[in-house]
Amino acid sequence: MPIVDIHTHVYPPSFMELLRSRTTVPYVRTFPDAPDSSRLIILPGEDNPSTPSTSRGRPIGPEYYDIEKKIAFMDLHNISTSVISLANPWLDFLPAEEAADAARRINDEVNSICSQYPGRLYAFGTLPLSGPVDTVVSEIERLNGLKYMRGVIMGTSGLGSGLDDPRLDPIYAALQKHEQIIFLHPHYGLPSEVYGPRANEYGHVLPLALGFPMETTVAVTRMLLSGVWDRFQGLSVLIAHSGGTLPFLAGRIESCIQHDGHLKSAGKIEGRRSVWDVLKKNIYLDAVVYSEVGLKAAIDASGADRLLFGTDHPFFPPLEEDAKEWHSVTTNYAAISKAFEGAIQGSAEDVLGNNAVRILRLHD
């Protein structure tokens, strides 16, 4: 039985080089007071000079850039195949004139890494979204020729103003045409004021546990409201963290649309596709939700044939030094197993691997 991890990140060597060359977020630095360890600082809120350098961001080690560590992690957790993707913030921060070259270099590098472990590694490509739209479309077309690429990872920023930006239409059109799925992943979170004046007492919990899924849900809902899936009825999106909170809020979203006087006056309620229709036909969800409750809601919303196992490796390592298996992985394994106990439709095996093999055309 194949177990496929579709939510697993890498910073390939050339991207590490880029991060090490920078002094503003995102960057990787070895601070003078701790010369034996490096820190990865990717979120604006993590670059706080009042935070000691040894607890700024997160430690970064070879599990982020050495593919052998990924393979060892896969072996430890019985994962047969991983679909790797560049970790956030991707190339969003690059000057426009550097983006296209960087995307080509990184996509070629990642494709080459996959070729070293045939059948065990596939990848989502990276797009030069800070550059001109035509260079993005060109890179989508070029990805078609890279053997191990199975879609693209994308943040919520789009070309800088969100995924409901009509300037993205040529990009959506190209992705739809070439049957490349978008792996939609958060990075920017919510404005820090949301977390209140005591947020620094809670570590990274609020931005990671809440900011990420909320950012994701807002982005997807904006896509829906702007009619992306009315215009591109074949556009597929795999949403990180089981859709953020979309399965739970879909009913409220649909109800608020149906009760909105402004939308009604503008003639925007009739004829549009509902969130439920999009959830069943265009959206796929990963199974990275850390509970049976969340997983069942994701299954109910989108279908057991549309959920795909993931780990979020190398993020959320165990804090215990002597831990072997990662709790963040075993929690999701357990949730998948429990969610299908006595189930009439679907199976844990589908979520663990069969769905990914079918949807992403692995082993083609």
- 47-66 residues in contact with a copy of itself (CB under 8 A) are 55, 58
Three-state secondary-structure class, residue 184: strand
Positions in 279-298 near a copy of itself (CB under 8 A): 289-294, 296-297
| 76 or 209: CB nearest a copy of itself | 209
DSSP letter string, 220-286: HHHHHHTTHHHH-TT--EEEHHHHTTHHHHHHHHHHHHHT-HHHHHTT-STTPPPHHHHHHHTEEEE
Q: Contact, 219 vs 239, CB < 8 A?
A: no
Among 47, 254, 277, 305, binds a copy of itself (CB under 8 A): 254
Report the relative pairing of strands 181-184 and 81-86 from DSSP bridges: unpaired
Position among 21, 36, 145, 262 found at the interface with a copy of itself (CB under 8 A): 262
Residue 162 makes contact with a copy of itself by CB under 8 A: yes
Q: Of 105 and 280, which has the nearer Cβ to a copy of itself?
A: 280
Q: Report the site for a copy of itself in 175-204 (rule: CB under 8 A).
A: 190-191, 193-198, 201-204
Query: Rounded CA gap, 356 and 55, in Å?
Result: 37
Is residue 348 near a copy of itself by the rule CB under 8 A? no
Q: Is 258 in the site for a copy of itself (CB under 8 A)?
A: yes
What tokens were used for 359?
Answer: 């949807």
Under rule CB under 8 A, which residues in 123-142 are in contact with a copy of itself? none
According to the binding rule CB under 8 A, does residue 300 interact with a copy of itself? Answer: yes
**Torsion sign across C-alpha atoms 187, 326, 7, 241:** negative
Within residues 77-96, the interface with a copy of itself by CB under 8 A covers none
Binds a copy of itself by CB under 8 A, chosen from 114, 253, 285, 359:
253
25 touches a copy of itself by CB under 8 A: no
Residue with Cβ nearer a copy of itself (80 or 192): 192
Question: What residues have CB less than 8 Å from 234, skipping those under 6 apart?
Answer: 176, 179, 282
DSSP 109-129: HHHHHHHTSTTTEEEEEE--T
| Minimum distance of a copy of itself from residue 124's CB (angstroms) | 22
Tell which one of 125, 213, 310, 353 touches a copy of itself (CB under 8 A). Answer: 213
Closest CA to 34 of 48, 55, 20, 50: 55
Question: CA nearest 324: which of 50, 24, 73?
Answer: 73
Q: How far is the CB of 190 from a copy of itself (least distance, A)?
A: 6
* Residue 346 binds to a copy of itself (criterion: CB under 8 A): no
